Structure 1
Amino acid sequence: MDHPDTTHLELVVHKQLQQCSSIFLALADPVRQDIIMILTKHEALNVAQIVERTPMSRSAISHHLKILKQAGLLTSSKVGTEIYYSLDIEDSVTLLKAFLETTEQILVLKTPGDE
């Protein structure tokens, strides 16, 4: 039996994958994973406070924070002269869930059933 036409879903999942690419890249690095885990335990931290909790230099942490922020995983707010970073993952989680749901729909349609 032929597989159902999944062309439309494949176009959707391709677009979703493009939207999630920066998230995947940001999450792929162990240092950025550590930063996310640190921020899960704190409402907001500045660069110096994050550096205290890692073996990395201030410039390295700043670089990783920039990537996480560009990926939409962090937000920042300025308090006096300090910039505080906090997790802001709701939109990213929504994008990732949509990608996974569409991928699952394609797999279900392409998997032969009990015929």
Structure 2
Amino acid sequence: MNKEEQLNAIKEDFINCQKVLLAIGDETRQAILLVLMGTDCQTGLRVGEITEQTHLSRPAVSHHLKILREAGVILMRKEGTKNFYYINVRSELGSLKTLVQHIEEFMQKNY
């Protein structure tokens, strides 16, 4: 792959990662992700539990959870009327790894 092809691949990677980068780039969402990472992956947490641990309002937590869900970073499991949120281990976060690998390969090859 020549330099131009590599740059085009990296450009595509950036496009593919855009939603995830925007979702995880926010400090509040990072705090929510850290709380979720501290729990059992299968069990997850309810909005109220996340609210307690982050000291954010319920509407704020719900808003940020929606953004994280739309980006594919977290998932929600329904149990009756209760919703549990947890990290999506097969998420779009893998696309970030590909982006970083392509950038590293480009830098090693061209500099």
> 1:77-92, aligned counterparts within 5 Å?
77-92=77-92
User: What corresponds to 2:61 in structure 1?
Assistant: 61
Q: Considering only aligned residues, what root-mean-square deviation do their CA atoms show, in Å?
A: 1.5
Assess if the C-alpha contact under 8 Å between 1:51 and 1:57 holds in 2.
yes
Q: Which runs of 4+ in 1 moved over 3 A?
A: none
Aligned-pair identity (%): 30
For 1:45, what is the secondary structure of its paired residue?
A: coil
Q: How many residues align?
A: 108
Instruction: List alignment gaps of at least 5 residues for structure 1.
Output: none
Instruction: List alignment gaps of at least 5 residues for structure 2.
Output: none
Assess if the C-alpha contact under 8 Å between 1:51 and 1:61 holds in 2.
yes
Report deviation, 1:92. 2.6
Does 2:24 correspond to 1:27? Answer: yes
For the residues of structure 2 that align with 1:69 and 1:91, how far apart are their CA atoms?
10
Report deviation, 1:80. 0.8
User: What corresponds to 2:7 in structure 1?
Assistant: 10
TM-score scaled by length of structure 1: 0.86
TM-score scaled by length of structure 2: 0.89
Q: Of the two, which has the highest radius of gyration?
A: 1
For 2:56, what is the secondary structure of its paired residue?
A: coil
